[in-house]
Amino acid sequence: MRSRRIATLALALCLATLPLAGQAQDAGASDSRQVERQPLERQPLDRIVAVVNDSAIMHSELEERVDQTRAQIARQSQQGVPPEDVLRQQVLDRMIVEEIQLQLARDANLSVDDTELNRQVRAIAESNGMTLDQFADALEADGLSLAVVRDQVRRELLMRQLQQRQVASRVSISEREVDRFMAQQGVSREQARQALFQRKVNAEMEAWIQEIRSRAFIDNRLAER
């Protein structure tokens, strides 16, 4: 899920100015100019943390993903969360690569039809032991909407299509390779084929990511303050 804290973050940004406004009302109208300026001066401002070709990644988007990644690592990993600056840069690097892929998908006129999108969203709900309606209610209780999740699933499916076209199509496996792997690992032919395919796809994916990054215009502004 792309923006697990979109709603809560937006609410936090809105509420950040409320205490200041309350103090201004108590102070009266004796210094109305100062009162009117204070919310503007204290209001958090968004900024660009990276430019990818003709698109921008905003600081607020990065923070949402960092929060989500930190929580995921805490739940699933036995290791501790990386230092904050390391984690933030790693997340931004991933977002940059995602943005490049989505731009390439748009350029290739790739699309996801609603039938496939609905099937995938329903599968996510079922994997959590819920109906689609229950899943939507659970998202709402967590400050999200089904529309946000659908958008992220659509993005993931677009990237999967692009990777299938650009990476998986490059991979070929000979029967000799399969026979050798079966003899070495003691697995079935299908297991050997799948393992070899995944190994080659991973290698091709790494090379392809480096290739598309090298062709893109990337301006990483994270260190700027």
**What end-to-end distance do the CA atoms of the chain give, in Å?**
28
Q: What are the domain boundaries of the chain?
A: 1-45
Confidence at residue 203, expressed as pLDDT on a 0 to 100 scale:
94
Helix (H, G, I), strand (E, B) or coil at 144: coil
CA distance linking residue 5 with residue 69, whole number of Å? 11
Confidence at residue 39, expressed as pLDDT on a 0 to 100 scale:
52
Confidence category of residue 202, pLDDT binned at 50, 70, 90: very high
CA neighbours within 13 Å on the CB side: how many for 81? Answer: 16
CA distance linking residue 18 with residue 169, whole number of Å? 55
Q: Any alpha helices (H) in the chain, and if so which ranges?
A: 6-15, 18-27, 32-42, 59-76, 84-107, 114-127, 132-141, 146-166, 175-185, 189-215
List pLDDT tens digits, range 39-92.
555 656 899 999 999 999 999 999 999 988 888 888 787 778 889 999 999 999
What is the per-residue burial (b if ≥16 Cβ within 10 Å, else e) of 123-157?
eebeeeebeeeebbeebeeeebebebbbeebbbeb
* DSSP line for 34-94: HHHHHHHHHS----EEEEETTEEEEHHHHHHHHHHHHHHHHHH-SSPPPPHHHHHHHHHHH
Kindly state the average pLDDT of the residues 20-25.
Answer: 34
Confidence category of residue 19, pLDDT binned at 50, 70, 90: very low
> Nearest CA to 66 among 86, 48, 80, 50?
86
List pLDDT tens digits, range 111-167.
999 999 999 999 999 999 999 999 999 988 877 789 989 999 999 999 999 999 999
Q: Is the model more confident about 85 or about 30? A: 85
CA distance linking residue 66 with residue 91, whole number of Å? 6
